[in-house]
A and B are shown apart, each in its own frame.
Chain A
């Protein structure tokens, strides 16, 4: 038993559940309360990462609720808790008196709690519980400004897309149980037999790709940009979207055991890194660019999971969390100040607010993979795994890394560009207090670099308990650093001319490869059509058949009334009429005249006598 681990997940969940529906009265108290809770959670997370507690409680028959913190979970809980705290500190300092803050902070805590359940779960049912609640919390957060229909629609798209992928986890759980009884521990999934093993692998892989907005699910993240920027800074950089990559890192043995899972994972990640990198290059909206780059950067983590490069994947995960949260918060700050997130309209924003500009530069250069920032080194550590597996995979990864440099520099080129003369100036600046968490995130971008080199890297590998990791050669660091620098320089000199792509490809990339359109055409519209058809069938066939049989019964009754009844009644009446007629005829001899009776008697006796005589 470890009360600390229970409070690690219980505290944010309970505080969030109380705060989220508390209403406008709680708006004043919510930010300090939520940041205090979140600070406490960070403390608990650090303690848990050091002490590796584990807890268990009975849940379903033979399927207990199990939570534990090991090396991988330890990194995740600290990352999630730290980014949550940074984002909540920023949100608390930011002006927003007119908004429903209790709801916002409550939902953020609820989200944090469910993410912590996800990364500490050691059995599939436990993981699924955190996993799905996280999706619901993200729905509520993306649709936070619910008066605007396009935001709630985006929330719906995000929830439904990720839930469609989540069905994979339901099936994986069933398949794992079919393969063998047990608590469905995540580290035991690899022991299943075929064909269940492949089903478990496929289920886990699909769910992870969905949650991490990898191909072909990436479009939901584009829609999710309708949510508030602090939400994106947590959910779409450090938490929800990395849950899929985390799950794949966690279930590495399963991917290996299946025979095809590891390679499929690696290529899914590589393909996303490359394709969504192109998408990011084509965007002209700050948040859309960041969203596409999130998909691409998580593609690297998925690639790492597929090649067994756990250390590299974890390094990429933490370094990306710091850089991307920072950039999303900067985008939010400029959105507040300038009322836009379109890059051309933000031209010169960094010159106006140099502190934010500098922070943005740190984040963007890290994202670009430029030395000496953390994402540069992390990428090489994880690509070392790809190089051992297949040179093609390595080349794809390297190409995607070059794209990171291109789109990151695109941001800088705009925000440091010469401002065009414009009417009006920047609106509200964010207060100085809100800059502190951004500075901390920027510091993390730099400070995480040494982790990618020995001896820190070896210590991390030991902490993660990972097998022997592929070791990157010095030339890989040099090659990737040089390529990133060259690409960055080329992108800077090219300026804001559109990327050198064929127009059709450029259009496709700008529209996120038309993925959402395809999902609508191939899945949503046919489902809605099927629904209408089913409803029509229900009303016109089934219900009508029931009504018709009822009417038939009434008709039968009428028919019976008209024909059978008449026939029977006619028969009865006929009998009666015959009887009456016979009676009438029988009455005729009874004339009351004595002589006629005598004559009748004589006649009758004569007949009887004749009969007797004949018979004898």
Chain B
């Protein structure tokens, strides 16, 4: 089941490339959208068949490179299932949003389908090398998306993105090899490594291994100070590329913390958790402050991603501290962090798609170039307003559910860090209100891309179809989050147990 889920997009991508060159573009569009819809259907089926609290399910274990202790081992649990679902939702949204993309559509669709395989594959991987392969392939695919379909300075931004995250992945590989060597018998299997806890009584070895893994994941997440690849990559990427980059690819980093670093190196994680908390707080505040100083709408959203990822680090770092806190608080912090991954994916995905719509009409992301957009584009204004309030953590949207859990759970163990991080939601409120005020309200000011101002057109059907469902999901999660939390909470408890060893 999972193998089909993971590899169907790539199979369809190959099919797309093999179709005769004269195939009408409508057919290609239909194939892409249909594949994305089928994938979503598959993931819903997986969710329906998933037994809440039943540990890893849909497991497949096959020999791959047995000599090196590498196997094809996949499965889902409460940690990965929400992210699988998020991936499928976002890819469908991007497929719908990109229906009118007319530059080399066939290659664009094929690349996105391949990218979907790498993302899904990473989240189901239960083997470090498999994880690593998908991790790197996602970087490769995203490189081509940015370089091939980006804006003016896309080549340089794509190269920076590729080299930086690739370098990070090398650090990650070193860490993986460290775990492999420590295990007896040598293996890359995540389940075995978690069970063995191979570096439990060798703190001197555990520290560099943890350092390498955390470094690799921190570049991908990204956290301060490894985030400088993010703004140019987002600013130059096409809208759908940005949505996937922020919505799914960034989660690979935070997911790695929860899947690999915490359960496999619990001792070292507990010892160095304070470092992660500090990095988290710095990311929250620095990300929000820099975002506040931006005049470029998309760059601003990119920096809020740094801010939002910081909350996750705060949550998973604070959860490591057992003293002076209850199990409920720690579980809330971890559940909140996972919820934040899903929530940020939906909300920031929507914001980036809306930024794409903005660019299509005015050919610039500069907020000063727009004004009074709400007059001619009410749907755009309503969706942007809703997405902005969702992103600033308003109750009723998923962001509040995530951030409230993180703050409430983290305050006991880390009062100072949490008190500082809470300021982040005030800063994001300030910057989003300012952006809404500049772009949407005030006297209407038609965008003027080519010397001939034209009224700002409202969202077209395919753009609407891409964004609205994401926000509807964010609202559903904000009001009735139980269906998601029921899946995540057992996984949080499992991580806490592994961490307490």
> Is there an interface contact between B332 and A61, defined as CB atoms closer than 8 Å?
yes
Q: Given that A534-B286, A534-B290 are known contacts, is A181 also in contact with B328, CB under 8 Å in the complex? A: yes
Of the residues B374, B400, B410, B419, contact of A132 by C-beta under 8 Å: B400
> Is there an interface contact between A177 and B429, defined as CB atoms closer than 8 Å?
no
> Is there an interface contact between A528 and B292, defined as CB atoms closer than 8 Å?
yes
> Is there an interface contact between A159 and B429, defined as CB atoms closer than 8 Å?
yes
> Is there an interface contact between B326 and A177, defined as CB atoms closer than 8 Å?
yes
Identify the closest chain A residue to B327 (Cβ): A181
> Is there an interface contact between B433 and A160, defined as CB atoms closer than 8 Å?
yes
Of the residues A23, A130, A177, A550, contact of B409 by C-beta under 8 Å: A177
Q: How many Å lie between the Cα of A129 and that of B331 in the bound state?
A: 21
A-B contact count (CB 8 A): 158
Residues of chain B within 8 A (CB-CB) of A527 are: 289, 292, 427, 430
CB of A327 to closest CB in B, whole Å: 29
CB of A548 to closest CB in B, whole Å: 12
> Is there an interface contact between A125 and B412, defined as CB atoms closer than 8 Å?
no
B489 at the interface (CB under 8 A from A): yes
Contacting residues of chain B (249-273) with chain A, CB-CB under 8 angstroms: none
Identify the closest chain A residue to B163 (Cβ): A550
B494 at the interface (CB under 8 A from A): no
Contacting residues of chain A (166-195) with chain B, CB-CB under 8 angstroms: 167, 170-171, 173-175, 177-178, 180-181
Residues of chain A within 8 A (CB-CB) of B434 are: 156
Q: Which of A139-147, A227-235, A458-466, A512-520 contacts B (4 or more CB under 8 A)?
A: A139-147
CB of B315 to closest CB in A, whole Å: 12
Residues of chain B within 8 A (CB-CB) of A535 are: 289-290, 293-294
A294 at the interface (CB under 8 A from B): no
> Is there an interface contact between A177 and B400, defined as CB atoms closer than 8 Å?
no
> Is there an interface contact between B408 and A173, defined as CB atoms closer than 8 Å?
yes
Residues of chain A within 8 A (CB-CB) of B405 are: 60-61
CB of B422 to closest CB in A, whole Å: 5
Of the residues A147, A173, A199, contact of B442 by C-beta under 8 Å: A147
Chain B contact-residue range equals 35 or more
Q: How many Å lie between the Cα of A180 and that of B325 in the bound state?
A: 9
Q: How many Å lie between the Cα of A550 and that of B228 in the bound state?
A: 13
> Is there an interface contact between B404 and A125, defined as CB atoms closer than 8 Å?
yes
B202 at the interface (CB under 8 A from A): no
> Is there an interface contact between A136 and B433, defined as CB atoms closer than 8 Å?
no
A59 at the interface (CB under 8 A from B): yes
Chain A's interface: helix, strand, loop or mixed, by majority? helix
Q: How many Å lie between the Cα of A524 and that of B320 in the bound state?
A: 35
CB of A355 to closest CB in B, whole Å: 37
> Is there an interface contact between A129 and B426, defined as CB atoms closer than 8 Å?
no
Q: How many Å lie between the Cα of A491 and that of B468 in the bound state?
A: 58
> Is there an interface contact between B419 and A171, defined as CB atoms closer than 8 Å?
yes
A84 at the interface (CB under 8 A from B): no
> Is there an interface contact between A167 and B326, defined as CB atoms closer than 8 Å?
no
Chain A contact-residue range equals 35 or more
Chain B's interface: helix, strand, loop or mixed, by majority? helix
Q: How many Å lie between the Cα of A133 and that of B481 in the bound state?
A: 17
Residues of chain A within 8 A (CB-CB) of B400 are: 129, 132
> Is there an interface contact between B443 and A139, defined as CB atoms closer than 8 Å?
no
> Is there an interface contact between B228 and A171, defined as CB atoms closer than 8 Å?
no
> Is there an interface contact between A58 and B482, defined as CB atoms closer than 8 Å?
yes
> Is there an interface contact between A60 and B332, defined as CB atoms closer than 8 Å?
yes
> Is there an interface contact between A133 and B440, defined as CB atoms closer than 8 Å?
no
> Is there an interface contact between A163 and B293, defined as CB atoms closer than 8 Å?
no
> Is there an interface contact between B407 and A174, defined as CB atoms closer than 8 Å?
yes
> Is there an interface contact between A170 and B395, defined as CB atoms closer than 8 Å?
no
Q: How many Å lie between the Cα of A167 and that of B160 in the bound state?
A: 38
> Is there an interface contact between B437 and A156, defined as CB atoms closer than 8 Å?
yes
Residues of chain B within 8 A (CB-CB) of A125 are: 404, 408
Residues of chain B within 8 A (CB-CB) of A175 are: 411-412, 415
> Is there an interface contact between B423 and A167, defined as CB atoms closer than 8 Å?
yes
A128 at the interface (CB under 8 A from B): yes
Q: Given that A60-B485, A177-B408, A534-B290 are known contacts, is A146 also in contact with B328, CB under 8 Å in the complex? A: no
Q: Which of A428-436, A538-546, A569-577 contacts B (4 or more CB under 8 A)?
A: A538-546
A395 at the interface (CB under 8 A from B): no
Contacting residues of chain A (502-535) with chain B, CB-CB under 8 angstroms: 527-528, 530-532, 534-535
A552 at the interface (CB under 8 A from B): no
> Is there an interface contact between B396 and A133, defined as CB atoms closer than 8 Å?
yes
CB of B318 to closest CB in A, whole Å: 10
Residues of chain B within 8 A (CB-CB) of A21 are: 378, 382
CB of A586 to closest CB in B, whole Å: 50
B21 at the interface (CB under 8 A from A): no
Q: Given that A129-B396, A527-B292, A530-B289 are known contacts, is A61 also in contact with B328, CB under 8 Å in the complex? A: yes
A374 at the interface (CB under 8 A from B): no
Residues of chain B within 8 A (CB-CB) of A173 are: 404, 407-408, 411
Q: Given that A147-B375, A160-B426 are known contacts, is A170 also in contact with B407, CB under 8 Å in the complex? A: yes
Identify the closest chain A residue to B159 (Cβ): A550
> Is there an interface contact between B404 and A167, defined as CB atoms closer than 8 Å?
no
> Is there an interface contact between A61 and B331, defined as CB atoms closer than 8 Å?
yes
Q: How many Å lie between the Cα of A612 and that of B422 in the bound state?
A: 95
Q: How many Å lie between the Cα of A527 and that of B426 in the bound state?
A: 11
Contacting residues of chain B (314-343) with chain A, CB-CB under 8 angstroms: 324-326, 328-329, 331-332, 335
> Is there an interface contact between B404 and A546, defined as CB atoms closer than 8 Å?
no
Identify the closest chain A residue to B411 (Cβ): A174
Q: Given that A23-B378, A170-B422, A538-B228 are known contacts, is A61 also in contact with B411, CB under 8 Å in the complex? A: no
Q: How many Å lie between the Cα of A542 and that of B224 in the bound state?
A: 9
Task: Write out, one digit per residue, whether chain B residues 275-293 have a CB within 8 A of any chain A CB (1) or not (0).
Answer: 0000000000010011011
Of the residues B227, B413, B426, contact of A164 by C-beta under 8 Å: B426
Identify the closest chain B residue to A543 (Cβ): B228
Task: Write out, one digit per residue, whether chain A residues 104-128 have a CB within 8 A of any chain B CB (1) or not (0).
Answer: 0000000000000000000001001
B86 at the interface (CB under 8 A from A): no
Residues of chain A within 8 A (CB-CB) of B289 are: 527, 530-531, 534-535
CB of A12 to closest CB in B, whole Å: 14
> Is there an interface contact between A177 and B328, defined as CB atoms closer than 8 Å?
yes
A62 at the interface (CB under 8 A from B): yes
Residues of chain B within 8 A (CB-CB) of A156 are: 430, 433-434, 437
Q: How many Å lie between the Cα of A146 and that of B440 in the bound state?
A: 9
Task: Write out, one digit per residue, whether chain A residues 46-90 have a CB within 8 A of any chain B CB (1) or not (0).
Answer: 000000000000111111000000000000000000000000000
Identify the closest chain A residue to B336 (Cβ): A60
Q: How many Å lie between the Cα of A538 and that of B433 in the bound state?
A: 23
Residues of chain B within 8 A (CB-CB) of A170 are: 404, 407-408, 422, 425
Q: How many Å lie between the Cα of A157 and that of B405 in the bound state?
A: 27
B165 at the interface (CB under 8 A from A): no
A152 at the interface (CB under 8 A from B): yes
| Residues of B bordering A, CB below 8 Å | 160, 163-164, 225, 227-229, 286, 289-290, 292-294, 324-326, 328-329, 331-332, 335, 372, 374-375, 378, 382, 389, 394-396, 400-401, 404-405, 407-413, 415, 418-419, 422-423, 425-427, 429-430, 433-434, 437, 440-444, 481-482, 485, 489
A-B contact pairs, 27 of them (CB 8 A): A60-B405, A60-B485, A146-B442, A147-B375, A149-B441, A152-B442, A156-B430, A159-B429, A160-B433, A167-B423, A167-B426, A170-B407, A170-B422, A171-B411, A174-B408, A174-B415, A177-B328, A178-B326, A178-B329, A181-B326, A528-B293, A531-B289, A531-B292, A534-B293, A535-B290, A538-B290, A546-B160
18 additional contacts (CB under 8 A) given A130-B395, A174-B411: A60-B401, A60-B405, A125-B408, A129-B400, A133-B394, A147-B442, A152-B437, A155-B433, A160-B430, A163-B429, A173-B404, A177-B328, A177-B411, A178-B329, A181-B326, A527-B427, A546-B164, A550-B163
Closest 8 pairs between A and B when the two form their complex, measured CB to CB: A174-B411, A178-B412, A535-B293, A129-B395, A146-B441, A531-B292, A534-B289, A531-B293
